[in-house]
Structure 1
Amino acid sequence: MPAKRLSAPLALVALALTPTAAQAAAAAAASAPAAALAYPDTARGDTVDPQFGVDVADPYRWLEDDVRVNPEVAAWVEAQNRVTDAYLDTLPGRDAFRARMTELYDYERFGLPTKAGARYFYTRNDGLQPQSVLYVREGLKGEGRVLIDPNLWARDGATALAEWEPSEDGKYLLYAVQDGGTDWRIVRVKDVATGQDLPDEVRWVKFSALDWAKDGSGFYYSRFPEPKEGEAFQSLNENHAVYFHRLGTPQSADVLIHATPDKPKLNNSALVTDDGDYLLVVSSEGTDERYGLTLHPLGRPGAKPIVLVDDYANNWEYVTNAGTRFTFLTNKGAPRGRLVSFDIRKPDKLTELVAENPATLVGASRVGDRIILSYLGDAKSEARMVALNGEPIANINLADIGAASGFGGKSSDPETFYAFSSFARPTTIYRFDTETGNSEIFAEPRLTFNPADFSVEQRFYKSKDGTEVPMFLVMKKGLDRSKGSPTLLYGYGGFNVSLTPGFSPTRLAWVDKGGVLAIANLRGGGEYGKAWHDAGRLANKQNVFDDFIAAGEYLIAEGITGKGQLAIEGGSNGGLLVGAVTNQRPDLFAAALPAVGVMDMLRFDRFTAGRYWVDDYGYPSKEADFRNLLSYSPYHNIRSGVAYPAVLVTTADTDDRVVPGHSFKYTAALQHAKAGSKPHLIRIETRAGHGSGKPTDKIIAEAADKYAFAAKWTGLDVE
């Protein structure tokens, strides 16, 4: 748990608790009844599932069907979008938000470079390109040339370059294509010198690492069996297996390296060790960081796999090895992480290299003869450099309170790159030399705004049970703090995911228009290690909702926002969060923006990747878990006869992570309930998925719609 801290700075604490006249007027205007919306008629079925003595009604089961397969679902989607589009067209702030977001997005953006041989590979977006373009340089100071421009792949910009990996010598590039936002990948190979694709193509790849053999003869990847026709976007993902593809051969000739048919729910991902002597397969059943480890000796025909870890109890992240001695980041015996090594002939005898710290160890990578450790201290990034034996060498000075990522590299090269950003500062790429300790800017964006115009502070507030929870506040300098401001509260709270101070042009537009952005680091995340995660999952999931509700109450009590001025937002597991707290405290919020949310907690494990989430949610088929899930499931707990905030649900037709049926069913139930006069709408994007791969124009359009909706109901004057 985080240590107790005072809110800072002192001059900003204890704002007025009593609403001013202006604040009350704004709240009243925002909450004024709207003209009644005519929602589309949604057929109600009579499906009832008896579970553990409870008859669970599911009248909208038919909306689970794939929109591509069931024409009735497609007609429902079209009808809902017509109503939503007509309403959004009336919002006065929509065009203003879209214009400002477009301006804030219009800056040059670079991705982290990867060095292979003498070549450097990196992505770049000139500002408003739908997709970032992959470039290659011959040498660090060489002129970049376009290697892959995914903007040429589809007219609507919705086909994206996903994962990519150059071969060790930089001769070839392995890359994955993502179409329409799906999690499925098509993997291809490009000759870097000529820019031409090889005939090699691998399909049905999902949730896969991509790693080359050291000699460049081929690559390792993971895939699922080809799904039945018409089931690619809904059927459960099982029997994940690792294959080797040799260049110049068809996929049918790929060699099966590692499969677990006796445990079909395991995911199996592979990487080649630094020395190229082993293939390390990391296996897991769910989303929790509880892994099994299997080593496959390479270049030794007949050699048997070596099982290193098979208890699936802890996190193990490979860092490096020297012969049979391997170094890992683990949370075994250290909830906030430590660095250990062991000989693969005696994997239970651990040698501690770096002990657990008050900060949470979230990453470790070998670069040259150094190891760079990435930490989170109160959700802010820290970086430290140690010797291979764990002896401290130096801290890496970061620019500000923010988020750092990267630090990848090779044992043969002291050069690495990292990215740094903050809420009001877009990503800058730095080149770092682990031998000299020198850091220099590799790529820095030219901005259309001044980061100094915005302030960032961190507060700590008490949740329902007294736990202190950190929260970031972002606002424009000079904002009148004597009265509450329309505020957007964002949260996630699950799957060990940490919310760090990253840059978002869309959220900054909200702040630039005079709103406050609040981001709460709820339990269930990874900000304070395993204990923080455990405190917000399974039977403890209600803690996440309590933390979020307490954040809203704190913002009002401190005068940061006022009653009727608070909007909430969250996506995926955060969409579940928004749906659950809206049911539990509809009086607290003026507007709710649940995106691609998990809304039916009794059937989430029946579709695509849903089965992985039992680590955080539990099993609907087990009575104790069922009763806990039913207690907060957004779809099952909508309260008829209670005035709800304005709700704009967002999802996409190609989301095969959280299938859109979750959002469809939740929206239908909310529209059917007598839940007040405010609008309860759904916006359904086409040719888009769970979020990754979405083109820039679609990101801006969706965010402008959401924030104009929130502005309408919180009283934010956008014009």
Structure 2
Amino acid sequence: MAHGACRGRHRLTVSVLGRRACLVQARRPLRGRDVRRVSDGCVRRQPILERIHGRTVADPYRWLENGGTAECARWLTEQERLLVEHTPLSQVRTRAAFRALLDESADGAGVAVSAPVVRGQRTFFVRQRIGQEMPVLVVAVEGAGPGVGNVLLDPLELDPSGATSLLAWRPSWTGRLLAFQTAVGGAESPKLRVLDVARGRVVDDPLFLNRPTAVAWLPDDSGFYYVTGSPAEPRRVRLHRIGDDPESDPVVWETHMRHLSVSLGPEGRWLLVSAAPGAQTGNVLRMADLRATAARGGDYASPELVIVHDGTSQGSSALVKSGPRGLLYAVTDAQAPRGRVCVIDPADPRSSAWTTVVEPGPDAVLSACTALHDPRSRQVRLLVGTVSNGVPRLTLHEMSGRPLTDIPTPGSGPGTINGLSTPPGDSDRMWFRYTDFTTPPTVYRLALPEGRCLPEARPTTGTTTARPGPRSRRQEPVVRHLTYPSEDGTPIGLYVISPPGARGPRPALLTAYGGFGASAAPAYSPTIAAWVKAGGIYAVAGVRGGGEQGTTWHAAGRGPNKPHAFADFACAARHLIDQDLTTAPQLAVKGASHSGLMVAVAITRNPELYAAAVCSDAVTDMVRYPQLGLGAWWANEFGTPDEPDQLDTLLGYSPYHNVRSGVRYPAVLLTSPRTDPRVDAAHMRKFTAALQHATDSGKPVLLRTEDGAGHGPRTATRHADLHSDVLAFCAQHTGLVL
């Protein structure tokens, strides 16, 4: 299709529904009647109409799926121009103010440090100082002090352009070697290499992978298990010996299931292989006793894997872990939607023989578990983490399950404890990270002789050059946890973060995740802090489809029940308005990935509720999603268009297919990498085109694309640039004045 600029300085030509249309630019509003106006000199494109299970499904922007064509490149160029010309000067000033607030909020968080991983005499952790573009991996020797160590891997030293990301890392059990995975330009096909930690040198040929992989080191550092494969081929567990040609790595086990992981305890005895057909679908867990295999004349390349758990029919998952004194235990949601901890008899490791020792209370969800050795009693103890209404709790249990004591945790209200890290062997120590909406992530240490959690000292933060943003406040924001009814009466949790002393309705930002069993947990975010410092309200809804109340909560918003999540989100918006916290002309919604789908459905379902929306990296075409990116892996979450009844559900909410001409849509900013290997950027392109053609509100629909980024992490500058744009756009269209 020919694709060029319309005559006159106010228009550009794009393809819409097989016709030509002009998008009005300059400084006047973008109107539906303008984008639908037919101009002379453009080539017509026949719209695609498909019959699927007796239904006619239109796909007018199929041509935008191929980002490598010349016409798509021209369309993206015009979108860049449209973005610039529809960003008023006031929004540019607001963006600068938000950038200052984001820098201030990030600087206030101090140095970001992960919980340490102890291997042998070395401790490994990730650190990002103020002003650093990317996190670095640090190694310290025992006794060096918390947060102190030498930089082992710096992505910017590997690639000064900032295009290379450190995706994953795993030290060997002795701490002598480190397997690390890097990818370039937002890709998710990493290169895996092995580093000699003491010398800082790569000691093995690189492994080129289609997906990031788990790495399970052998106890003698001679090699590791890892996973290969892609959506188009079987997934395989392989064994790599240091120095061997990766092409000759033996296949230990393979499956057509899309999710595959492998682990091996520090003693080198129990090999575990977990396979699942999709995310949060239940897993099949296989286990091999490598000592028994060796006694029978086998080796690491020929383990005798047997099934110990199969939860694929019920959608239940299990994870088996090793502990002190040869302990084997499992964390599972089989017959326990809120989770349970079980002890395993090595003589009979089948799940039917597991002994349940700990289950959370009726209002709590199991969040974590680790095993420690108590030097006073010389007994093994279970440290169990639970969450109730967003409030975390740590409890120490005997191996029988009897509770011994509650461990006082940081914070006094909703918060998040994660990243539990316990050294191998008979350790009495454990580290974790704590955060909440007003507290930056902080590493804490628990040692059983002390019986309390102590914050690790932060490394020196250095000098900050950021200047305070406008209207900066030293007072803490006010955090409330509310409950509101959804359309069917189901109570839904809602966090509301407000400026201190806020009264009456004010500009608000609402978000939710609502998918794949992932919880919208309380956590510090410079984006939230900046919006609230500027005087706005930030709200996070715990809608169905997440994991806030266990697996039943996920199931209530998954597959055919996915519309419940969207109804919950709309009711969150209405509740904010009904409670006089905001008004529809002051309310914006934003989200990325699955949260972006929530936003896309929200504005096509109830456009009148919102003044603005930011939709990032989202699935929006629910008919074609299995053919784009990694969409084929998500059928258990969304359902499949191959089944007539599931197609009806998907079409019922598919944002791309529910855009209607002549509707007064809110102002919409869509953001996407130019290439996204996980959620194909075609979703954002097609949804942008559909909205631009249909809207009749006079408000802009704009696309922001980014080269050299993917679905994952960005440099600090790129992250701040993106969120400055997002917050400024929301402020511009909700009336928030800095």
Same fold (TM > 0.5): yes
CA distance in 1, matches of 2:78, 2:180: 38
Gap change, CA 1:43 and 1:586, over 3 Å in 2 = farther
1:280 match: 272
1:206 match: 211
CA distance in 2, matches of 1:384, 1:76: 57
TM-score of the superposed pair, with normalisation by structure 2: 0.87
Structure 1 position 450, deviation (Å): 7.5
1:367 match: 372
Gap change, CA 1:684 and 1:99, over 3 Å in 2 = same
Identity over the aligned pairs, expressed in percent?
33
Gap change, CA 1:578 and 1:422, over 3 Å in 2 = same
Q: What amino acid maps onto 2:217 in structure 1?
A: W
Q: How many pairs does the alignment contain?
A: 668
Contact 2:125-2:139 at 8 Å conserved across structures: yes
Residue 343 of structure 1: SS of its match in structure 2? Answer: coil
Structure 2 residue corresponding to 1:459, chosen from 454, 457, 482: 482
Cα deviation code 1:614-668 (max 9, x no counterpart): 1111111001100000000000001211101000011112311111001111111
Say yes or no: does 1:220 pair with 2:225: yes
Say yes or no: does 1:439 pair with 2:462: no
1:427 match: 441
CA distance in 1, matches of 2:194, 2:50: 49
Residue 206 of structure 2: SS of its match in structure 1? Answer: strand
2:495 match: 472
Q: What amino acid maps onto 1:564 in structure 2?
A: P
Say yes or no: does 1:418 pair with 2:432: yes
Contact 1:334-1:356 at 8 Å conserved across structures: no
Structure 1 position 495, deviation (Å): 0.6
Gap change, CA 1:116 and 1:509, over 3 Å in 2 = same
Gap change, CA 1:89 and 1:255, over 3 Å in 2 = farther
Structure 1 position 491, deviation (Å): 0.7
Say yes or no: does 1:154 pair with 2:159: yes
1:14 match: none
Gap change, CA 1:177 and 1:403, over 3 Å in 2 = same
Residue 456 of structure 2: SS of its match in structure 1? Answer: strand
CA distance in 2, matches of 1:635, 1:709: 22
Contact 2:324-2:371 at 8 Å conserved across structures: no
Q: What amino acid maps onto 1:79 in structure 2?
A: E
Contact 1:278-1:295 at 8 Å conserved across structures: yes
Structure 1 position 39, deviation (Å): 7.2
Structure 1 position 258, deviation (Å): 1.3
Structure 1 position 186, deviation (Å): 1.1
Cα deviation code 1:254-290 (max 9, x no counterpart): 1211102xxx233221000353212100010111240
2:139 match: 136
1:240 match: 235
2:70 match: 71
1:35 match: 29
Cα deviation code 1:346-382 (max 9, x no counterpart): 6122311112422011222233433222222113322
Gaps of 5+ in 2: 1-26, 37-41, 374-379
2:85 match: 86
Taking only aligned residues, the RMSD between alpha carbons, in angstroms, comes to: 2.3
Gap change, CA 1:388 and 1:44, over 3 Å in 2 = farther
Structure 1 position 74, deviation (Å): 2.5
CA distance in 2, matches of 1:213, 1:330: 26
Structure 2 residue corresponding to 1:576, chosen from 571, 591, 597: 597
Which range moves more in the overlay, 360-369 or 209-218? Answer: 360-369
TM-score of the superposed pair, with normalisation by structure 1: 0.89
Counting only pairs closer than 5 Å after superposition, residues 599-638 of structure 1 correspond to structure 2 as 599-638=620-659
Structure 1 position 461, deviation (Å): 0.8
Structure 2 residue corresponding to 1:334, chosen from 333, 336, 348: 336
Structure 1 position 612, deviation (Å): 1.8
Cα deviation code 1:97-132 (max 9, x no counterpart): 112112222332212211111111111111121211
Structure 1 position 316, deviation (Å): 0.3
2:181 match: 176
Gap change, CA 1:342 and 1:523, over 3 Å in 2 = same
CA distance in 1, matches of 2:245, 2:638: 40
Contact 2:672-2:706 at 8 Å conserved across structures: yes
Structure 1 residue corresponding to 2:397, chosen from 365, 386, 389: 386
1:404 match: 417
CA distance in 2, matches of 1:152, 1:567: 40
CA distance in 1, matches of 2:447, 2:47: 65
Structure 1 position 575, deviation (Å): 1.0
CA distance in 1, matches of 2:140, 2:325: 33
CA distance in 1, matches of 2:479, 2:311: 43
Cα deviation code 1:366-410 (max 9, x no counterpart): 334332222221133222222333232322222213111122213
Gap change, CA 1:589 and 1:441, over 3 Å in 2 = same
Structure 1 position 45, deviation (Å): 4.4
Gap change, CA 1:45 and 1:391, over 3 Å in 2 = farther
2:48 match: 47
CA distance in 1, matches of 2:187, 2:476: 38
2:244 match: 249
Contact 2:173-2:266 at 8 Å conserved across structures: no
CA distance in 2, matches of 1:346, 1:221: 23
Which range moves more in the overlay, 290-299 or 495-504? Answer: 290-299
Q: Give the structure, 1 or 2, with the largest relative contact order (CA under 8 Å, sep 6 or more).
A: 1
CA distance in 2, matches of 1:127, 1:138: 24
Say yes or no: does 1:294 pair with 2:296: no
Cα deviation code 1:455-492 (max 9, x no counterpart): 2111111111111111111122122x1x2010000111
2:387 match: 376
CA distance in 2, matches of 1:488, 1:42: 42
Cα deviation code 1:549-598 (max 9, x no counterpart): 11111101111112300000111111111111111110000001111111
2:551 match: 530
Contact 1:639-1:675 at 8 Å conserved across structures: no
Q: What amino acid maps onto 1:316 in structure 2?
A: A
Residue 608 of structure 1: SS of its match in structure 2? Answer: coil
Residue 175 of structure 2: SS of its match in structure 1? Answer: coil
CA distance in 1, matches of 2:594, 2:276: 20
Residue 282 of structure 2: SS of its match in structure 1? Answer: coil
Contact 1:404-1:421 at 8 Å conserved across structures: yes
1:121 match: 124
Gap change, CA 1:371 and 1:655, over 3 Å in 2 = farther
Q: What amino acid maps onto 2:723 in structure 1?
A: A
